[in-house]
């Protein structure tokens, strides 16, 4: 379990983290989200002791010390590989900092290269790889020492949909291995698909901290999707409806004042006749992210 208590960080007169406290249970994937500048990277850098901070951070009940970093894998948002090294040299060097021997790297690296479908040989220089394959090499470096705590900051950057799916499989395998994973992504669909727990930081403060399901339910089932022989004007005249739009799938999307309106609206829309779709849902994590960021209602 990762425990953060009273974490604060100032850069000059600007307070980036403001008494941040939360816990992340062991063995789950936790989404850690927020707008640019919200404090995500500062939190990661505090956890990794890249910056000085106030407060406490515990991993399984113990303060994070120098020895703890062999149990942590960190994939930064920015690529931080040395372009003139070969894949083998780069992985061997950074894995060595986590306590792995050259022999262990030699045994495991080919397996990881195959698992992540890296296009290239271990003797290829980093600079010769595509951006996507460089990202895969960074992920290998993050995971090859089998860390207990994994921090993935925008792991799908530069990857096509096929490779995104491949990396998702690897992330889920790491969860099954028992690792605790902190996952940050600006694509909320990825967060909602992979994560069981969600923490959102806004203006240096925690504004969401619960399971994905509990967070969505707390906003109520205020999104209604309907289809059938329906005219927009008729839908606009319905009570409790604050907004109407059409989805790319040809469904009408209605935003309701309250989820309790659903039963009455069903009778008003169907009129006792067949209706192809009447699906009442909670807002998506993408919508909730926008609401808590102050850019949507």
Task: Express each pLDDT in 219-228 by its tens digit.
Answer: 999 999 999 7
User: Which is nearest to 133 in space by CA: 157, 103, 149?
Assistant: 157
User: What per-residue confidence (pLDDT) applies to 63?
Assistant: 82
User: Which is nearest to 265 in space by CA: 237, 239, 291, 285?
Assistant: 239
Residue in the structure block whose two tokens are 């996507």: 132
User: What per-residue confidence (pLDDT) applies to 226?
Assistant: 94
Asked if 137 and 109 count as a contact pair (C-beta separation under 8 A), the reply is no
Looking at residues 186-210, what average pLDDT do you find?
A: 94
Asked if 112 and 120 count as a contact pair (C-beta separation under 8 A), the reply is no
State yes or no: pLDDT of 28 exceeds 80.
yes
Looking at residues 251-270, what average pLDDT do you find?
A: 93
Asked if 139 and 75 count as a contact pair (C-beta separation under 8 A), the reply is yes
State yes or no: pLDDT of 296 exceeds 70.
no
Burial class (CB in 10 A: 0-12, 13-18, 19+), 49: middle
Asked if 116 and 140 count as a contact pair (C-beta separation under 8 A), the reply is yes
User: What per-residue confidence (pLDDT) applies to 117?
Assistant: 93
* 291 φ/ψ angles, rounded to the nearest 5 degrees: -60, -50
Looking at residues 69-83, what average pLDDT do you find?
A: 88
Q: Which residues pair with 202 in a beta bridge?
A: 205
How sure is the predictor about 264, in pLDDT bands with cuts at 50, 70 and 90? very high
What does the pLDDT look like over 113-163, one tens digit per residue?
A: 999 999 989 999 999 999 889 999 999 999 999 999 999 998 988 789 999
149-153 and 180-184 beta bridge pairing: parallel
User: What per-residue confidence (pLDDT) applies to 297?
Assistant: 64
Taking only Cα atoms into account, the Rg of the chain, rounded to an integer number of angstroms, comes to 23
pTM: predicted TM-score of the whole model, two decimal places: 0.87
Looking at residues 64-71, what average pLDDT do you find?
A: 82
Domains of the chain in start order, with CATH, are 2-216 (3.40.50.300), 220-281 (3.30.70)
72-75 and 2-11 beta bridge pairing: unpaired
pLDDT averaged over the chain?
92
Q: What region, left, alpha or beta, does residue 273 occupy, with left being phi > 0 and alpha being psi -120 to 50 degrees?
A: beta
List of residues 6+ apart from 207 with CB closer than 8 A: 200, 201, 292
How sure is the predictor about 64, in pLDDT bands with cuts at 50, 70 and 90? confident
- Three-state SS at 3: strand
């Amino acid at each position: 379990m990762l425990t953060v208590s009273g974490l604060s960080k100032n850069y000059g007169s600007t307070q980036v983290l403001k008494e941040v406290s939360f816990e992340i249970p062991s063995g789950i994937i936790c989404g850690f989200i927020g707008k640019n500048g919200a404090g995500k990277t500062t939190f990661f850098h505090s956890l990794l002791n890249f910056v000085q901070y106030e407060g406490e951070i515990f991993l399984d009940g113990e303060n994070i010390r120098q020895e703890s970093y062999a149990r942590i894998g960190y994939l930064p948002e920015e690529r931080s590989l040395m372009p003139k090294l070969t894949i083998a040299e780069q992985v061997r060097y950074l894995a060595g900092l986590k306590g792995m021997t050259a022999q262990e790297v030699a045994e495991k690296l080919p397996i990881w290269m195959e698992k992540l479908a890296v296009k290239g040989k271990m003797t290829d220089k980093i600079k010769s790889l595509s951006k996507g394959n460089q990202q895969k090499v960074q992920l290998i470096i993050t995971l090859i020492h089998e860390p207990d705590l994994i921090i993935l900051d925008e792991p799908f950057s530069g990857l096509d949909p096929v490779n995104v799916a491949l990396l998702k499989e690897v992330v889920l395998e790491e969860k099954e291995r028992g690792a605790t994973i902190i996952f940050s992504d600006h694509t909320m669909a990825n967060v909602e698909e992979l994560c069981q727990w969600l923490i959102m930081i806004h203006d240096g403060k925690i504004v969401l901290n619960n399971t994905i399901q509990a967070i969505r339910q707390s906003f109520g089932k205020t999104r209604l999707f309907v289809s059938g022989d329906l005219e927009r004007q008729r839908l606009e005249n319905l009570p409790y409806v604050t907004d109407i739009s059409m989805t790319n799938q040809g469904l009408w999307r209605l935003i309701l004042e309250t989820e309790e309106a659903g039963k009455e609206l069903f009778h008003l829309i169907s009129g006792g006749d067949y209706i192809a779709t009447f699906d009442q849902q909670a807002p998506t994590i993408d919508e909730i992210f926008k609401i808590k960021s102050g850019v949507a209602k």
